[in-house]
Amino acid sequence: MSRAVVIGAGPAGLMAAEMLGRAGLEVTLCDAKPSVGRKFLMAGKSGLNLTKDEPPTPFMEVYAEARAPLTPIIAAFDASAVQDWARGLGQDVFTGSTGRVFPTSMKASPLLRAWLARLAGLGVQIRTRWHWQGWQGDALAFQTPEGAGTVQADVTVLALGGASWPRLGATGTWAEILHARSVDLAAFTPANAGVAVDWSDHMVRHFGAPIKGGAWSAGPFQSRGEASLSAGGLEGGGIYAVSRGLREGHDLSLDLLPDLSVPEITTRLAKPRGKASLSNHLRKVLNLTPAQIALIQEMARPLPEGLRATARVLKALPIRHAGLRPMAEAISTAGGVRFGALDDNLMLRDLPGVFVAGEMLDWEAPTGGYLINACLATGRWAGQQAAAWVKH
């Protein structure tokens, strides 16, 4: 029986191992951490968004430059296939108002438990605390609790993740190993990252407060999502969705009232103010929250003379910032193995028999279920193609 080794037990590696197990191979799934799927479990803490229930055209557009190579792979395991797969593991799913799909439990742990039971049924052997070091001759070299060792594999799937949240396992150190083998890599950069802001002391009491209902923009990227004020800056889906624009050097701005025009806001501002402070007036006539008003003061004080000029500021509040938060805090990373280094089966052209899947590939996407869907789909593709390759 041929032996397949899958390295990295996140959603991509788990899926690759399942495919190889189903194809009847002897499968060993190794991970450096003491337990598997740590980032997947962390993703479940804030509601595990498995995919987005929307037609292929808007769905695939989010992958931007990687759209072409990912299209056949995601078409073979699309949003509806992901939902069926989750149900097959006994996890009911529901679609939220924005099309995001979650397990009813919202968590990753029941799904992971059922998945591991399925893998055990397929005979997949899991080895934790096995830290892959590269190759020694043809063999895969690991540092394990028992010391250094090698494993001979007939076929290998690498699913080592990106380079964010390194404490959960995705350290990105694999890039040095592949670079030494002349694999073409794009440098890692933060994707879906928060923005760093050097706040004045006035803002401290608003930390934790959400900024809702606004429209964020940075160059061509726009988002109506929410963000929260934090000691480090601004965090949350609204900011993550435009973080690529910031990374590419565009300014960040916030339309606090995207459903009102400048003349409509001006009319409301013109209502009698009496002795009310500007803050109270903004709160009363425009329903702005204390956190929104504090943000306006922080970024635009002194407000310009004239109601129309003030209205314009509220429609395009410039957010001064100190760049993106560090990569270690980002939800995901861009960069990794370039598609040009791979054939259509996700096998490294220069390392026959070595397949690559998941976030270690050079693609990025906003949050919203697109990340896990692509990890599952590439893991499935790499696992299936690896099984087909070894059998020939």
Cβ proximity of 357 and 378 under 8 Å: yes
- Smallest CA-to-CA distance from 333 within 188, 186, 138, 158 is with 188
Piece in contact with ligand FAD (CB under 6 A), picked from 2-10, 62-70, 203-211, 318-326? 2-10
Least distance in Å: CB of 238 to ligand FAD?
Answer: 15
For residue 326, give the DSSP letter: P
Helices (H), 56-206: 56-61, 67-75, 79-88, 109-121, 174-180
Residue 13 makes contact with ligand FAD by CB under 6 A:
yes
Q: Which stretch binds ligand FAD (CB under 6 A): 34-42, 213-221, 264-272, 334-342?
A: 34-42
Least Cβ distance, residue 108 to ligand FAD (angstroms): 9
Residue 66 touching ligand FAD (CB under 6 A) = no
3 by DSSP, 3-state: which?
strand
CB of 318 to ligand FAD, least distance (A): 29
Q: Nearer Cβ to ligand FAD, position 319 or 361?
A: 361
- For 213, other C-beta atoms within 10 Å of its C-beta total 17
CB 28 → ligand FAD: shortest distance, Å?
12
Report if residue 375 touches ligand FAD, rule: CB under 6 A: yes
CB of 214 to ligand FAD, least distance (A): 22
Q: How far is the CB of 63 from ligand FAD (least distance, A)?
A: 13
CA within 13 Å, CB half, 118 = 20
CB neighbourhood size of 123 (10 A): 12
Which residue's entry shows tokens 């670079």?
179
Q: Which one of 169, 190, 366, 383 is in contact with ligand FAD (CB under 6 A)?
A: 169
Measured CA to CA in angstroms, residue 234 lies from 76, 163, 200 at distances of 37, 21, 14
Does 363 participate in binding ligand FAD (rule CB under 6 A)? no
Token pair of 327, please?
């990569």
- Asked if residue 42 binds ligand FAD (CB under 6 A), the reply is yes
43 binds ligand FAD (CB under 6 A): yes
Give the separation between CA 351 and CA 68, rounded to whole angstroms.
Answer: 23
Classify burial at 198, counting beta carbons within 10 Å of its beta carbon; exposed 0-12, middle 13-18, buried 19 or more.
Answer: exposed
Told to check if 358 binds ligand FAD by CB under 6 A, we report yes
Neighbours of 24 (CB within 10 A): 13
Stretch that binds ligand FAD, among 11-19, 91-99, 117-125, 345-353 (CB under 6 A): 11-19
* Binding positions for ligand FAD, rule: CB under 6 A: 7-13, 30-33, 38-40, 42-43, 46, 48-49, 131-132, 159-161, 165, 169-171, 174, 331-332, 358-359, 367, 369, 371-372, 375
